[in-house]
Amino acid sequence: MDNSQNERKTMIHVSINGREYEVPAGSTMVQAMWYTGHEVIHGIGCLGGVCGACATVYRIKGDFRLRNALACQTLVQEGMSFSMLDSYPIQRAHYDVATLSDPKEELFTFYPESATCRNCNACTEVCPQGIDVRDSVWRANFGDFKAVADLTMSCVMCGLCVSRCIAEMAPHEIALYARRAYGAKELPFPANLRARLDEIKGGTFSREMDRLLSLSPDELKKECEVKS
């Protein structure tokens, strides 16, 4: 068997955005898109499962279930059909966390839908990070923002939980609000951050900052070169 036959044996059939392709087995969904000439500019960030940009919806042949995944972290399978979600529209509240006076009550001002959770657990089932998203929504509703922060620390903001929520809320934004409020209102101000802010205010770094600001782009590039 020559090399080209070996190579053929490793190809599998997938459908991307409704069109059929053959792609190398062992590719991630992102690699399969690149292989088939898709210009994937949006929806790609870290390629490491961290930025949450590559939310994707897919089905496996013969399985009725609609599944979701991060495309950079998911290998293609024979008969898989998938489409990347460019972005999922959400209602994002605007607030200044520093001015919140009663964050637990104000949650229902910014995200009133939070109280309408129907406990279906679809958000938890879809989460690629294995977060108990349903529980985080309930903890937020009961004002336990510390528990929300602990539960959702690994959220990559991919928005897949939004795509499945039958109460049409954005659980990851509710969790983000709770984490912010917890950090700003419940935790003590970090001592090392306070010390650094005092140093900045005291002018400790002013001379070096002024020097950097006076450099030309070429001089700045040189400054950034790793010194051997």
| Contacting positions for ligand FES (CB under 6 A) | 44-47, 49-54, 70, 72, 156
Measured distance CA(17)–CA(33) in Å, rounded: 10
Count of residues interacting with ligand SF4 (CB under 6 A) = 30
Question: Could you tell me the CA-to-CA distances from 39 to 42, 58, 70, 86, 140 in Å, in that order?
Answer: 9, 19, 17, 12, 39
Contacted by 147, from ligand SF4, ligand FES, none: CB < 5 to 8 Å by type: none
Q: What minimum distance in Å lies between the beta carbon of 17 and ligand FES? A: 17
Q: What minimum distance in Å lies between the beta carbon of 28 and ligand SF4? A: 18
Site for ligand SF4 in 38-77 (CB under 6 A): 52
Which position among 122, 132, 144, 184 is part of the footprint of ligand SF4 (CB under 6 A)? 122
Residues 80, 15 contacting (CB under 8 angstroms)? yes
Contacted by 159, from ligand FES, ligand SF4, none: CB < 5 to 8 Å by type: ligand SF4
Q: What minimum distance in Å lies between the beta carbon of 73 and ligand FES? A: 6
Contacted by 85, from ligand FES, ligand SF4, none: CB < 5 to 8 Å by type: none
- Does residue 164 bind ligand SF4 (CB under 6 A)? yes
Structure tokens that stand for 80 in this block: 């898989």
Q: What minimum distance in Å lies between the beta carbon of 146 and ligand SF4? A: 17
- Does residue 160 bind ligand SF4 (CB under 6 A)? yes
Nearer to ligand SF4, 76 or 139 (CB): 139
Which position among 51, 57, 60, 157 is part of the footprint of ligand SF4 (CB under 6 A)? 157
Measured distance CA(56)–CA(72) in Å, rounded: 9
Residues 143, 174 contacting (CB under 8 angstroms)? no
What are the b/e assignments for 131-148, b being 16+ CB within 10 Å?
Answer: bebbbbbbbbbebbbebb
Which long-range CB contacts under 8 A does 10-14 form with residues at least 24 apart?
12/76, 12/77, 12/78, 13/78, 13/79, 14/76, 14/77, 14/78, 14/79, 14/80, 14/81, 14/82
Residues that bind ligand SF4 (CB under 6 A): 52, 117-123, 126-129, 131, 133-134, 137, 155-161, 164-167, 169, 171-172
